[in-house]
Amino acid sequence: MDYTAARNNMVESQVRTNDVTGLELQHALRQVARERFVAPARAFAAYAEADVEIAPGRALMKPRDIGKLLQALAPRAGEKALAIAAPYAAAVLAQMGLEVTAQEGDARASAVVDQALRGYGVTPVTRDLREPAGEGFDLIVSEGAVAEAPAAWLAALKPGGRLAVVLRDGPVGKARLFLKGESFASSRELFDSTPQVLAGFERAPTFQF
């Protein structure tokens, strides 16, 4: 399979056509080998309009959706970023000149992606996703969904920092961009998206009589 051609086709047919217009982002998406961040048996599907499996319970976000999510973050070279369950996004951000830590909560996913992450200059960390690996980040992104924005993720941002994540508590989720202020975070809705909800980030059941 010609992966270079597949990357170019992905950008032209899935990303640019969905209003991802940033040239630096488009260039990074053309450079990062998406097939290196999925289960080896699924490499042939890496550029499909689909969530492609990394390991059981973990998948890469659709190219269109991760492109739109990263564009909303407006990443700038030299910024400090945390990619939570987002190895492909981590490599794209590093390609754009950011200092990136990629945090995985599942050793099976880490086994698939860590070598590729290091090749793109990303620092991989495996630890509980509810505990961000550091603080003072300019931006945080996740390719998985959560029922609600984790307070710990917002706390790991510096004032003026941005979090992009899909909030999902049903069939369809909503991607949102959060902006951290001095004492609170504001947010705005971006687009519909349906990534898997990360284990441990489902909405807690409410007690009923």
Q: Is the pLDDT of residue 62 over 60?
A: yes
The total of structural domains in the chain comes to 1
Quick one: average pLDDT of 147-171?
95
Which CATH number does the domain housing residue 59 bear? 3.40.50.150
Q: Is residue 207 included in any domain, yes or no?
A: no
Tell whether 199 is covered by a domain: no
Query: 93 in a domain, yes or no?
Result: yes
Residue 203 lies in a domain: no
Percent of the chain surpassing pLDDT 70: 97
Give domain status of residue 201, yes or no: no
Query: What is the residue-wise DSSP string for 107-172?
Result: HHHHHHHHHHHHHTT-EEEES-TTS-S-S-EEEEEEEEEESS--HHHHHTEEEEEEEEEEE-SSSS
Q: What is the pTM of this model?
A: 0.94
Tell me the residue range of the domain where 66 lies: 3-193
Does a structural domain hold residue 54? yes
Q: Could you report the per-residue pLDDT of 118-134, keeping only the tens digit for each?
A: 999 999 999 999 999 99
